[in-house]
């Protein structure tokens, strides 16, 4: 059934349909209405879950780690500095292989304080080991949350579902709310592989020695590096798993089919604009206008950022003439993180395009359609001459 | 569906003597239970077992009387500290060795 | 940028319900076959009583550009006292429409000759039996009368749904009264 509501409510509805069992979250703008909605669902008994109020994001993730270790389907949400405050626990959650799902309403990071949108918060967490999925509109938010729970519990790796603060979190638009019955069919109940079980006591993640050691059961127990290597292998294997989950979702709900990148008018394009999040939809209007002028350009939104879908990226961008990467985040002192990752993926491609990087929209600076149009027109007129240094769009000083 | 098994290599220890090898040789002080004072031994009831519960190496049995496995007991002294009846005394390893001589 | 998107900017005060009103219109528009209905509130902090605005875009197809509107086709003002505080007509197209909760006649307002629809929504809401100060349901009636964009019956249904548990009938009555008492004319 279609409803019109905010992105935060789309996320909360996805969590409800996924039948999360434990929710612990600390409110922070622009995520707050999401946690408020979830607490309403729990209070009204529409969602049979424990809602555990906490005094900080660090505690929120600590509660999620405990609840997930006890074998429950667990959810939290945050933004910006709240996400950073969780950082130490984020590493723990993934190292412990806990299938926690978290929504992040993307917001710029202080100092100086900002409550508005950019993507520095989650991009800065790219090396933690969590899977990162980005939604471009409310439909993708609710669909991604449901898919994220199944992905997390299949691969035993936590998943972040990220969406632009305000631009999506507080904007209202129509989206389809899937039927509970169909979601139940798609997302089986969570059965933890390793959990706190009085019948089978275990000691989880104690000090793990640098080397392997013999266990009392006669098997060889892994050292730290074996455990970390397996995490990396499992993350890489998650790409294939997510592709299958996305295909299943499409079969059941009719939406999806582009788990890694979503292309618009890219097939016959010489030029491709690339970005993460709602900006990739905004750019569609710009692409349409440029197409009217005969410029063969398309736009590609990156939907999964970690694990990095390098094969899909190479497939989409190999053979193109020029690629323009827009980013609302930066690996400070270097370049845009997505730009660097795409360059790295294209390094071995036979027919690799020239590529350039634009930084924009930080701290909620409005991105105007006319501005994007001007930047892209110039980039397409002078491909190949671009410097390997990010350029900033819309600076006024 | 992908058949790969995830979460196969994790850090998980099973409580019980021996996960860290035979650690009995680490001991400097040895816990000894006075069965005249020990609650389950004295009452002949499956009760108390505080020593069994607290032993970090699971080297104490939940039996009447409780038995300490000296192959694995590191001599940490937690059982003696926690015993509500004061039935466990930490004895210098050198003392019983002298007596044996 | 897209020419086939109708852009409506709502001006109100924090707590007055402009967002709820815009949401009701978005719902009704969607129910009437507009696939694109995007409502974007002022981003950032909102304080009770402070001037706020909210952007509503309506189109036959899905809308991809979520940025706040700068050249509205229509402005809806929930509180005439805002006219002294905010340039509500900023960027309003020359053939644009102003819908205003006010007590004077259209000709007495200065919007450079643009079409103005005026209704004393505050008064009609009280007549309908609502406590004083609730204007967001009533202004929707004025919107329907002035634009004909969405049928009043569809809007009344959307109002009843949105206000379920919060005097749905009285809010619908306020909208109907406003619909019946909206004067449309040319401004100064």
For C71-122, the pLDDT digits (tens) are 999 999 999 999 999 999 999 999 999 999 999 999 999 999 899 999 999 9
Q: Is the pLDDT of residue C47 over 90?
A: no
Is 90 exceeded by the pLDDT of residue A255? Answer: yes
- Pairing state of beta strands A22-25 and A74-78? parallel
Tell me which chain B residue has its CA closest to the CA of residue A98: B7
Residue A382 has a CB neighbour count (10 Å cut-off) of 11
Find out if CATH 3.40.920.10 is the number for domain C6-186.
Answer: yes
Beta bridge partners of A391: A358
Q: What is the pTM of this model?
A: 0.92
**SS3 state at A391:** strand
Q: Is A4 in contact with C35 (Cβ distance < 8 A)?
A: no
Q: Which of B90, B39, B85 is nearest to B65 (CA)?
A: B39
Q: How many whole angstroms separate alpha carbon A340 and alpha carbon A332?
A: 12
Spatial neighbors of B97 by CB under 8 A, at least 6 apart, are none
Restricting to A residues 242-281, those with a Cβ less than 8 Å away from any Cβ of C are 278, 281
Asked if the Cβ–Cβ distance from A205 to B12 is below 8 Å, we say yes
| Mean pLDDT score, B78-87 | 97
C19 vs chain A: nearest CA distance in angstroms?
10
The pLDDT tens digits of the residues spanning A142-162 come to 999 999 999 999 999 999 999
* CATH architecture of the domain formed by B24-100: 2-Layer Sandwich (3.30)
Region of poorest pLDDT, from A133-147, A332-346, B9-23, B37-51: B9-23
Instruction: With beta carbons less than 8 A apart as the criterion, state whether A78 and A57 touch.
Output: yes
Query: Domains in chain A, ordered, with CATH?
Result: 2-186 (3.40.50.970), 263-392 (3.40.50.920)
Could you say which of B9, B15, B19 has the minimum Cβ distance to residue A222?
B9
Q: What is the pLDDT of residue B21?
A: 74
Using CB atoms, pick whichever of A174, A286, A364 lies closest to residue C43.
A364
Contact flag for B and C (3+ C-beta pairs < 8 Å): no
Q: Does residue B42 have a cis peptide bond before it, meaning omega lies within 30 degrees of 0? A: no
* B12·A208 Cβ contact <8 A: no
Of C4, C5, C7, which Cα lies nearest the Cα of C55? C7
pLDDT at C87: 94
Question: Is the C-alpha dihedral spanning A33, A39, A43, A48 positive or negative?
Answer: positive
Distance in Å from the first CA to the final CA of chain A: 48
Q: Residues near A236 by Cβ (< 8 Å), separated by ≥ 6?
A: A307
Q: Which two tokens stand for residue C57?
A: 């875009």
Rounded distance, CA B32 to CA B98, Å?
16
Domain ranges of chain C: 6-186
């Amino acid at each position: 059934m279609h409803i019109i509501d905010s992105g935060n409510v789309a996320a909360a509805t996805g969590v409800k349909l996924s039948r999360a069992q434990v929710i612990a979250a600390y409110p922070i703008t622009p995520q707050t209405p999401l946690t408020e909605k979830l607490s309403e669902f729990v209070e009204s008994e529409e969602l049979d879950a424990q809602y555990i109020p906490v005094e900080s994001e660090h505690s929120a993730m600590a509660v999620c780690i405990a609840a997930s270790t006890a074998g429950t389907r667990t959810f939290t949400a945050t933004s910006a500095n709240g996400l950073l405050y969780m950082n130490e626990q984020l590493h723990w959650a993934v190292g412990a292989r806990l299938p926690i799902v978290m929504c992040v309403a993307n917001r710029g990071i202080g100092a100086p304080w900002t409550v508005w949108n950019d993507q520095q918060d989650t991009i800065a967490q790219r090396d933690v080991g969590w899977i990162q999925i980005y939604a471009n509109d409310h439909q993708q938010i609710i669909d991604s949350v449901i898919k994220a729970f199944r992905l997390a519990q299949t691969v035993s790796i936590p998943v972040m579902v990220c969406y632009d603060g305000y631009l999506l979190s507080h904007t209202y638009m129509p989206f389809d709310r899937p039927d509970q019955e169909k979601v139940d069919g798609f997302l089986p109940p969570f059965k933890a592989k390793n959990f706190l079980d009085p019948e089978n006591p275990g000691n989880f993640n104690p000090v793990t020695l640098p080397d392997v050691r013999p266990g009392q059961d006669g098997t060889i127990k892994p050292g730290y590096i074996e455990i970390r290597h397996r995490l990396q292998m499992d993350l890489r294997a998650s790409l294939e798993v997510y592709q299958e989950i996305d295909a299943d979702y499409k079969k059941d709900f009719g939406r999806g089919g582009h788990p890694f990148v979503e292309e618009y008018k890219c097939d016959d394009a010489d030029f491709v604009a690339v970005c993460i999040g709602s900006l990739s939809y905004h750019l569609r209007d710009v692409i349409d206008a440029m197409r009217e002028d005969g410029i063969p350009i398309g736009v590609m939104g990156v939907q999964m950022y970690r694990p990095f879908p390098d094969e899909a990226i190479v497939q989409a961008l190999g053979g193109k003439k020029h690629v323009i990467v827009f980013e609302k985040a930066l690996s400070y002192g270097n370049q845009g993180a997505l730009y660097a990752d795409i360059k790295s993926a294209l390094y071995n491609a036979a027919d690799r395009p020239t590529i350039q990087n634009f930084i924009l929209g930080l701290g909620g600076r409005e991105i105007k359609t006319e501005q994007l149009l001007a930047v892209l027109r110039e980039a397409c007129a002078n491909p190949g001459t671009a410097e390997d240094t990010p350029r900033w769009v819309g600076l006024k000083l | 569906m992908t058949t790969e098994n995830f979460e196969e290599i994790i850090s998980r220890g099973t409580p019980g003597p021996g996960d860290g090898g035979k650690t009995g040789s680490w001991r400097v002080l040895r816990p000894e239970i006075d069965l005249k004072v020990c609650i389950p031994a004295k009452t002949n009831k499956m009760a108390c077992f505080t020593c069994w519960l607290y032993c970090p190496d699971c080297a104490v049995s939940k039996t009447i009387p409780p038995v300490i496995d000296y192959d694995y007991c590191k001599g940490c002294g937690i059982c003696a500290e926690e015993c509500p009846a004061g039935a466990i005394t930490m004895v210098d390893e050198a003392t019983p060795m002298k007596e044996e001589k | 940028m897209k020419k086939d998107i109708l852009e409506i900017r709502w001006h109100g005060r924090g707590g007055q319900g402009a967002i709820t009103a815009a949401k009701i219109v978005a719902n009704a528009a969607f129910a009437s076959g507009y696939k694109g209905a995007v409502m974007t509130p002022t981003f950032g902090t909102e304080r009770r009583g402070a001037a706020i605005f909210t952007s509503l875009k309506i189109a036959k197809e899905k809308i991809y550009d979520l940025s706040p509107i700068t050249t509205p086709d229509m402005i809806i003002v929930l509180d005439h006292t805002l006219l002294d505080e905010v340039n509500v007509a900023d960027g309003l197209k020359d053939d644009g429409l102003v819908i205003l909760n006010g007590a004077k006649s259209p000709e007495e307002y200065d919007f450079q000759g643009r079409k103005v629809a005026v209704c004393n929504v505050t008064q009609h809401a009280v007549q309908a039996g609502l406590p004083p100060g609730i204007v967001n349901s009533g202004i929707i009636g004025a919107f329907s009368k002035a634009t004909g964009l969405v049928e009043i019956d569809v809007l009344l249904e959307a109002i009843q749904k949105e206000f379920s548990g919060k005097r749905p009938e009285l809010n619908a009555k306020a909208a109907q009264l406003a619909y019946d008492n909206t004067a449309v004319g040319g401004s100064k």
